[in-house]
Amino acid sequence: MTIDLTDTTTGAIDHALNEARRRLGGMTLGMVLTLIVVTDEAAQYDAIRAANQAAREHPCRILAVIARKPKADSRLDAEIRVGESSPGETIVLRMYGPLGQHADSVVAPLLVPDVPVVTWWPDEAPEIPARHPLGALAQRRVTDTAAAESPRAMLANLAAGYRPGDTDFGWTRATPWRSLLAATLDQPHPPVTAGEIAAEEGNPAADLIAAWLSLRLSAPVSRTVSAGPGITAAVFTTPEGDIKITRADGRTATLAWPGRTDRMVALHRRDTAELLAEELRRLDPDEVYAETLEHADLSAPAELPRRTNAPA
Amino acid sequence: MDVPNAGTRGPAPANPGVIAAGLDPANPLRDPRDRRIPRVAGPCVMVMFGVTGDLARKKLMPALYDLANRGLLPPGFSLVGFARRDWEHEDFAQVTYEAVKEHARTPFRETVWQQLSEGVRFVPGEFTDDEAFDQLAETVRQLDHERGTGGNYAFYLSIPPKFFSTVVQQLKRSGLSDPGPAGPDGRTPWRRVVIEKPFGRDLATAKELNDVVDAVFPAHSVFRIDHYLGKETVQNILALRFANTLYEPIWNRSYVDHVQITMSEDIGIGGRAGYYDGIGAARDVIQNHLLQLLALTAMEEPVSFDADSLRQEKEKVLSAVRLPADLALGTARGQYAAGWQGGRQVTGFLEEDGIPADSRTETYAAIKLSVDTRRWAGVPFYVRTGKRLTRRMTEIALIFQAAPHLPFAATDTKELGKNALVIRVQPDEGVTLRFGSKVPGSAMEVRDVNMDFAYGESFTEASPEAYERLILDVLIGDPPLFPRQEEVELSWRILDPVEQFWAENTKPEQYASGGAGPASADALMGRDGRAWRRL
Ligand SMILES: NC(=O)c1ccc[n+]([C@@H]2O[C@H](COP(=O)([O-])OP(=O)(O)OC[C@H]3O[C@@H](n4cnc5c(N)ncnc54)[C@H](OP(=O)(O)O)[C@@H]3O)[C@@H](O)[C@H]2O)c1
C-alpha cells in the first residue's frame, strides 16, 4: 500500500505508518535496522530498488531522503510504502527549501527504536561522512567512491576523514577478488615477492586491493591500468614464476599456476543490492578496511604505469 | 603483520581444517578480523558414492553448485562420481548439470557451472571391483597433479549402510584412505569420510557400523550428517541461550514447567517403504534429530564453541536423560489410517505399497523423558514425531510455569495460558514468545498474545541450505555440527528400551490422517494435566 502525504510532518507520517500497519496486521515486527538512503530525484528509483532487495535479507525501515528546490519554501512531502515488495517499510521523504539542510530533524523521529542505523550515499558523499548530520545518526556509513567524479580524490578524502563505522562500496566490490586471492594462497605456494593489480582507471576496488596485498604480504604491489572491465588481473610474483589470475570479461577468471593446468573460476561482478546486503551483514567497524585505507597510496594519481594491451 | 611471507613453514597444524578457517600463519591474507572474506574450503577432491541416488541428485550436487556460486569452493575443487553405470565423464557431468539446474537454490550461472564441470570426473564400477577402485585412485591422483587439489579427499558415502564395509575396505586396499606422509611443505593431506543416517537401528548395530568405518578412518575424520544441525535456527539456539542475559536465568526448573519438542510431517512414507518398514518414526527421527535438539536445549553452557566442548556438553546431558518408569504410560505410538490430509484423500500406512498388512512399524511416536540434572529435575521433556499429521513443522517449545500469584479476579485471567518460548525450526524459521496481555477496553481482561521474530534471511542467497553448510564444514574440517559416535550410542541407549518394550507389548494405534496423532498420545499428556501444542 502507498500513502502520499504532502506538506506534512513527522508526527503525521508516524500516525499514517501506524494506521497502515494496523490495516495490514502488524508488519513492523522483526525489523533489524533503519537504512537511510541519501539520494536525489534522478537516482532514487535505482537506489530504493536495491535497498528493497537488500531488505529481504535484512528487514528494515528504509528512509529515502531527497532534497529538492533549495530556493523554495520549506516543505516536507512523504510517500509511505508498506507491504509491497519487501518485508520492511519504505518512506520517501522529499524536502524542499531550507528544510533540506535539516534533514536530520525529519529523520531522527522516524528511526526504528533500539536497532542500528545505517546511512548510505549511493552517489555523491560528503567529505567526512561521520560529520554529516545524517551520518552522525548512524553507526555505519556507506559511500561509493566509484560514483564520484574522481574516485581517487574521494578515496583520499575518505582516508583523511575516516571514522570507525565508515565503509565504501569500493571495498565491498573487492571482496570476491580478495577471497579468491586468499583461497589461492591457501595452497602451498612459493614465497610471494611482489604483486600487481590491473584494472581500468578510476577503480577504487583495485586501489584498495593493491594496498591490502602490499600491507599483508609486506611486498611491493603495483597498480597498473588496463582497459577493463573492472579488475582484469592479479599477479603474485614468486621465484618459481608468476601465479596469475586474469579476468577479461568481468565474469570468468582463469587461474594460471606455474606447472599446472589453468583453472577457471567464476568471478562475476555483483549488483548494488548484493553490495548493500554485504554491508548490512556486519555493522561493527571494519578494521581491515581502516588499515587498508590508511595504507593506500592515493597521492600519485594520473601517471600510473600504463599497459598497452590487455594483460595476458 | 610481522610474519614474513614465506613459502614454507613449520609443522603441520594438528587440525588441518583450521587452515581455511583463518588461522594459517602460511597465508598472510587471512585475518580473523577480516569477516568479509568467507571461510572457503581448502583445495580438495570430493569422491561421491551413490551419485545416482536421490540424496546425491536432490541435495548434494545442488549444494556443491550453490557453494561454488557463493565463491566458497576453492579453485580446482573436483568432484569424482562413482557408480555402476557405463558412463563417460561427460555423461556424469550431464547428470550433475540436470540435478543442479533442477534443485539448486541459487540462480543458475553458466560461468559457475563451467568452473565446477571442469573438475567433474566419473569412475564406473561395482563396489566389489578392485580394478574400479584402482582406477579411482588413479583419477584422484591425476586431479592432484592437474588441478592442485593437494591430496585432500573427502569420501561421501551416499549409499545404503550395508555397503559401507565393502567400500571402506576398498578405500583401504587401494591406498585411497591413507593420507601418506607430509608433503615438502610440511602439510599432511587429509582424508575425511561422510556418512548419512541411519547410524544403525539400535545400539549393537550402531557399534558394528562404527567399527567398520573406524577400522579404516580415525574418529576425527568421520563426519556424521544430521542435517538438522545445519539449519540456521538450530544454531541460533546457542546464540539465543548463550549470547543473551534474558533467557538463561529462567532456563531451568524454577521457571520452566515442561518442554515440548515436535517434528511433524504432513506427508506419508512416499516411496521409502523398503527403508521405513521395521525402522519407524522413533528410530528415523527421535534417535537423531529430536534428541540432538533436546541436547542443545538442555545442555549446560560449553566453555567454548569448539567441537570438543560442545560435544562434551551434549554427551553429558544425553547421559542424564531418563525414560519414564512405566513405558506403557510414558510413550505412545501410532500408524496413520486412510483419510483426508490437506484436502486430499490419502491411503493408510498399512495399505501403502511395500508395507505388509500386519506391519507393526510406527509412523508416530511420542516419549516423555526427564533430564536428571539440577537444572532440569522434575521438568518433563515431551518429544513427538509423526507422518501425515495436520501440517509440517518442527519446533522446540519451553512452556513456563503459571505466575505464582495472580492479583486479578479469576474471570479476568480465564483466557490466560502459560508463557511460552518457541523456537521454530521449520518451515517458518524464527522465535515466538507467548505471554499475557490486557485486552483493550475498560475491563481488566488478560489474554495470550504472541511476539514474533522471523529473520528475513530465509529467502535469500545468504541463508544456506543445511547441506551447503555441512558440506562446507566437512571440506574445511570444522566438526562442531557433526554428532560424534558417543552421542549416537547415548541416543540409542535412550531409545533401545523403548523399542524393545514396544516390540514386546504394543501394537501401534491407528490415527486419522491429517490430525494430531493417536489418542494415546493425548492421554499421555492428559495424565500429567498438560496438552500438546496445536500443530
Ligand atoms: N534421500 C534422503 O533424503 C536421505 C535422508 C537421510 C539419509 N539418507 C541416506 O543417504 C544415503 C543415500 O540415500 P538415497 O536416498 O540417495 O538412496 P538411494 O536413492 O537408494 O541411492 C542409493 C545409491 O546407492 C547405490 N547403490 C545401491 N546398491 C549398490 C550396489 N550394490 N552397488 C553399487 N551402488 C549401489 C545406488 O546406485 P544404483 O543407482 O546403481 O542402484 C544409488 O546411487 C543412504 O545411506 C540413506 O540412508 C537419505
User: CA-to-CA distance for A72 and B491, rounded, in angstroms?
Assistant: 74
Nearest CA to CA, how far is A272 from chain B (Å)?
A: 15
Band (pLDDT 50/70/90 cuts) for residue B463 is low
pLDDT for A243 beyond 50: yes
Distance of CA A142 to the CA centre of its chain: 5
Q: What percentage of chain B carries pLDDT values higher than 70?
A: 93
User: CA dist B495 to B79, B287, B318, B325, B519, Å?
Assistant: 37, 7, 11, 14, 22
B289 is catalytic: yes
Mean pLDDT check: name the lowest of B119-128, B169-178, B321-330, B445-454: B445-454
- Mean pLDDT, range A160-176, rounded to an integer: 96
Tell me, yes or no, if A304 comes closer than 8 A to chain B by beta carbon: no
Q: What is the pLDDT of residues A3-60, one digit of tens each?
A: 999 999 999 999 998 888 888 766 555 688 999 999 999 999 999 999 999 988 888 8
Among B87, B77, B66, B70, smallest CA distance to B115 is for: B77
Give residue A311's pLDDT. Answer: 40
Chain A residues whose CB is inside 8 A of the B28 CB are 185, 216-218
pLDDT for B3 beyond 50: no
Evaluate whether A69 touches A35 at the Cβ level (below 8 Å). Answer: no
B114: part of which helix (H) or strand (E)? Answer: helix B110-117
Band (pLDDT 50/70/90 cuts) for residue B459 is very low
Q: Who's near B378: CB < 8 A, 6+ residues apart?
A: B253, B370
Catalytic residue among B103, B220, B227, B289: B289
What is the 8-class DSSP label of residue A97? G
Determine the residue among A32, A180, A186 to mutate to test chain B binding: the one whose Cβ has the most chain B Cβ atoms within 10 Å.
A186
What is the 8-class DSSP label of residue A231? E
Chain A residues whose CB is inside 8 A of the B17 CB are none
Q: What is the pLDDT of residues A249-299, one digit of tens each?
A: 888 999 999 888 888 888 888 999 999 999 998 899 999 999 999 999 876
Give residue A298's pLDDT. Answer: 74
Among A294, A302, A304, smallest CA distance to A153 is for: A302
> Helix A169-184 to helix A272-281 angle, to the nearest 10 degrees?
80
User: CA dist B531 to B89, B114, B257, B322, B518, Å?
Assistant: 57, 55, 12, 21, 13
Put simply, the chain A residues between 211 and 250 with a CB less than 8 A from any chain B CB are 213, 215-219, 238
Give residue B481's pLDDT. Answer: 92
pLDDT for A309 beyond 50: no
Among B87, B291, B263, B63, smallest CA distance to B158 is for: B63
Q: Which residues line ligand 1 (CB under 6 A)?
A: B 50-56, 83-84, 126-127, 158-161, 163, 196-198
Tell me, yes or no, if A187 comes closer than 8 A to chain B by beta carbon: yes
Q: Mutation test of ligand 1: which of B47, B48, B54 has the most ligand atoms closer than 8 Å to its C-beta? A: B54
- Mean pLDDT, range B75-96, rounded to an integer: 95
Mean pLDDT check: name the lowest of A63-72, A237-246, B398-407, B460-469: B460-469
Q: Which range, A230-234, B187-191, B415-419, B476-480, has the best average confidence (pLDDT)?
A: A230-234
Mean predicted lDDT score pLDDT of chain A: 90
Nearest CA to CA, how far is B424 from chain A (Å)?
A: 15
Phi, then psi, of A65 in degrees rounded to 5: -110, 120
Phi, then psi, of B396 in degrees rounded to 5: -115, 125
Give residue A24's pLDDT. Answer: 77
Give residue B10's pLDDT. Answer: 37
B224: part of which helix (H) or strand (E)? Answer: strand B222-225
Give residue A307's pLDDT. Answer: 41
Question: Which one of B118, B185, B457 has the shortest CB-CB distance to A263?
Answer: B118
Question: Which one of A186, A219, A268 has the shortest CB-CB distance to B20?
Answer: A186
The set of cell numbers assigned to B110 is: 553458466
Chain B residues whose CB is inside 8 A of the A266 CB are 68-69, 71, 109, 111-112, 114-115
Minimum Cα–Cα distance from B34: chain A residue: A288
Chain B residues whose CB is inside 8 A of the A178 CB are 29, 34, 36-37
Mapped onto helix, strand or coil, the DSSP state of residue B339 is: strand
Band (pLDDT 50/70/90 cuts) for residue B2 is very low
Sorted by where each starts, the structural domains of chain A and their CATH numbers stand as 2-169 (3.40.50), 172-295 (no CATH)
User: CA-to-CA distance for A204 and B213, rounded, in angstroms?
Assistant: 52
Give residue A186's pLDDT. Answer: 85
Give residue B42's pLDDT. Answer: 85
Q: What is the pLDDT of residues B306-358, one digit of tens each?
A: 999 999 999 999 999 999 999 999 999 999 999 998 888 999 999 999 999 99
Q: What is the pLDDT of residues B202-231, one digit of tens each?
A: 999 999 999 999 999 999 999 999 998 988
Question: Which one of B42, B115, B148 has the shortest CB-CB distance to A265?
Answer: B115
Q: What percentage of chain A carries pLDDT values higher than 90?
A: 72
User: CA-to-CA distance for B308 and B294, rounded, in angstroms?
Assistant: 18
Chain B residues whose CB is inside 8 A of the A282 CB are 35-36
User: CA-to-CA distance for B5 and B115, rounded, in angstroms?
Assistant: 29
pLDDT for A228 beyond 60: yes
The set of cell numbers assigned to B169 is: 575396505
Among B423, B451, B384, B514, smallest CA distance to B231 is for: B423
Band (pLDDT 50/70/90 cuts) for residue B20 is very low
Phi, then psi, of A32 in degrees rounded to 5: -100, -10
Sheet holding A231-238, edge to edge: A221-225, A194-199, A231-238, A241-246, A252-256, A263-266
CB contact under 8 A, A217 and B453: no
Give residue B23's pLDDT. Answer: 42
Q: What is the pLDDT of residues B372-430, one digit of tens each?
A: 999 999 999 999 999 999 999 999 999 999 998 888 888 888 778 899 999 998 887 88
- Range A170-195 burial, b when 16+ CB lie within 10 A, else e: bbbbbbbbbbbbbbbbbbbbbbbebb
Give residue B336's pLDDT. Answer: 97
Among B253, B236, B272, smallest CA distance to B431 is for: B236
**Rg (Cα) of chain A, in Å, rounded?**
22
Chain A residues whose CB is inside 8 A of the B451 CB are 29
Determine which residue's CA is closest to atom 11 belonging to ligand 1. B158
CB contact under 8 A, A287 and B33: yes
Q: What is the pLDDT of residues B488-519, one digit of tens each?
A: 999 999 999 999 999 999 899 999 999 999 99
User: CA dist B341 to A5, A166, B513, Å?
Assistant: 48, 54, 6
Q: Which atom of ligand 1 is nearest to the CA of B85?
A: 40
Put simply, the chain A residues between 150 and 179 with a CB less than 8 A from any chain B CB are 172, 175-176, 178-179
Nearest CA to CA, how far is A118 from chain B (Å)?
A: 18
CB contact under 8 A, A252 and B27: no
Tell me, yes or no, if A115 comes closer than 8 A to chain B by beta carbon: no
- Mean pLDDT, range A120-128, rounded to an integer: 94
ipTM for this model: 0.86
The set of cell numbers assigned to B129 is: 571391483
Evaluate whether A159 touches A298 at the Cβ level (below 8 Å). Answer: yes
Q: What's the residue count for chain A? A: 312
Q: What is the pLDDT of residues A69-88, one digit of tens each?
A: 999 999 999 999 987 766 77
Evaluate whether B370 touches B380 at the Cβ level (below 8 Å). Answer: yes
Give residue A85's pLDDT. Answer: 64
How far the first Cα of chain A sits from its last, in Å, is 53
Minimum Cα–Cα distance from B18: chain A residue: A186
Q: What is the pLDDT of residues B143-189, one digit of tens each?
A: 998 888 889 999 999 999 999 999 999 999 999 999 988 877 677 89
The set of cell numbers assigned to B342 is: 490437506
Gap from CA of A19 to ligand 1 centroid (Å):
55
- Mean pLDDT, range B68-76, rounded to an integer: 90
Q: Who's near B68: CB < 8 A, 6+ residues apart?
A: A266, B77, B112, B115, B116
The set of cell numbers assigned to B189 is: 593431506
pLDDT for B271 beyond 90: no
- Beta strand A221-225 pairing with B380-386: unpaired
Determine the residue among B30, B31, B34, B190 to mutate to test chain A binding: the one whose Cβ has the most chain A Cβ atoms within 10 Å.
B34
